[in-house]
Structure formats: C-alpha cells, structure tokens
Amino acid sequence: MRTFFTAAILLFSSFYLEADSIPAISVFSDSQEVGKAAAQKIADVIIKKKQEGQTPIVLGFATGNTPIPTYAAFKKLVRETNLDLSDVITFNLDEYIGLPTSHSQSYYSFMFSYLFDDLVASPTNPHGIKRENIHIPKGATSHEEDLSQEELTALAERFPDRQGTALSLEEQFWIAEQRANAYEALIEQLGPIDLQILGVGRNGHIGFAEPGTSFESTTMVAKLTENTRNINSSFFDGNVNEVPEFAISMGIRTILNAKEILLLATGSSKAAIIDEVLKSPISSDVPCTALRLHEKTSFFLDEDAAVIYKK
C-alpha cells in the first residue's frame, strides 16, 4: 500500500511540474491602456477566426470594475473598424441568484449597460451581436413568474405537492442547479470558448469559484465567501446584507476548457493576489493558480497590479 501511495504521489508530482507554467505577462501604464490592449486582443481573435473560416466565434465575458475600460475600448474599436459581430456568441461567467435581470446590480444589467446595449444587432446595426447569441445565467428564482414554462413543468414534477406561487428555498436551489447544468451543456454544445476574459478576486477567486473549489468543477451554484460579499457590498450602497449569498458560476474546469484565457488585473488592491497567483504553489486555496495549468493564458496588468510581482 505504501509503495502504491508513493508511486501515485510521484506520478502526480511529475504531471504537476510539467503542467505548471507562468502565463504570458504584459504590463501597461494604467487601466485604460490595459483596456485598449484587451479590446484589441478580443478583436484580433474575432478577425483571425473569421479569416480561418472558423465560425461562430465564442467569447467569455466577465463583470466587475476591471473589465469596464476593456468594454469601452472594444465598443470604440467596433465603431471605428465596422467589425462584424454577427457570428459572435457570448457566455458570461456568472450571475447572482435572487436578482432579476432588471435589478441594477444584476450582471445582466451590467453587461447590457457597459457593452451589449451598443453592440446588439438592430435594423440600424445589422452586423451587431444577435441578442439570442448573448448568454448570461438567469438568477431570479423566488416566484413562479421567474421561471420558464419548461422550468415550471419540471418543478411540478420534482415537487408534486408544492402550493402557491412563491418558491421555497429548496425549490429555488433546485431550479438554480438545473440552470447551472443547462448552462454548462450549452457551453459544451456551442463551444469551446475561443477567448475567456477573466478578472481575479482579492482572495484569488475566478468567476465565483471561491477558495476551495475543485479544479474539476463545472458550472455550479456557488456560495460567496464573506470576504467576497463584503467587497461587493460597495456596489450595493455598502450594505452587505443586500449582496446575494449565492450565484450561478462557471466552474474552474469550464474556464480551463477555453482555448485561450486573458486575465485582467488593475490597481494596487490586486497587487498582492497577482504576486501570489504567479509565485505560490498551484492550489485550490487560490483558484486563480489553476490558470497556470492552461497552455495559452495571458495576464494583462497595469503597473499598480504588477508592482509586487515585478520586485
């Protein structure tokens, strides 16, 4: 038994050493320059895939303050170059459970406010992203009106004795899990994702894959840590009680299945975690270290985020 155990450790260690690599790192003067470079990267992927006849082009998007300059720069680039987005499919990393799409802090609202409102196809913008090709997990689960007819039918079959139009917590979690599974299946059907844009949390999370999340996790119902909720409370007028406790989030395996990954980090508040991600052992304690197992990952950092790493 000891010999087998030792051999297993040696085999794992060998794989670990071969797989671990430092991502390609580019450092820019500030967040605006990071945004311009990231926007150009997104455009280059779209153009290259089109030239190679590989359509649709599947992009993974993130939310939060970090990618806002990227989305602003990308919209400007699309306007200036008339970039055709009609073959683009998008998947967002995550969405809060419990927030309707109309909520000002839902990630649906975020993405349309900062990106899609100006890029979605319309009679005046025929080469925009088709609305049906924009995929963001649906978070609202509290009432029957939040569910599709298909979900209502499945709910009735799963909970035949339920009464009323409000969903119990058990029913809400069950619906969220079905949505997570369906989202993963859709990514598998339409993907793989050609380019996944990421940010990183101060505790090393990617999406809402928090510390301790398995590297084999796929799209899931994720519980937010108190650290994450406290940080995100700044978007909810500082009231942590308004921050949802759960989200539907891509898992780490889902993210690693992307053909290419681009992580963005800006500001001094990200300096410590970037240093840890790039220098510490690969571990689920710091989920972002999993990116070092991916053969085509780039980090775009500003000077403030790179300051500790560069020492």
Write out the catalytic residue numbers.
94, 203, 205, 210
What is the C-alpha separation between 93 and 209, in angstroms, rounded? 10
Q: At what angle do helices 31-51 and 68-81 cross, to 10 degrees?
A: 50
The Cβ of residue 154 has, within 10 Å, a number of other Cβ atoms equal to: 15
Closest CA to 118 of 61, 59, 89, 78: 78
Closest CA to 280 of 295, 268, 290: 290
Instruction: Report the greatest alpha carbon distance in the chain.
Output: 69
Residue 43's Cβ-count burial label (10 Å; 0-12, 13-18, 19+) is: middle
Closest CA to 63 of 32, 35, 95, 89: 95
What is the C-alpha separation between 139 and 179, in angstroms, rounded? 9
Q: Give Cα 151 distance to the centre of its chain.
A: 24
Radius of gyration of the chain (CA): 20
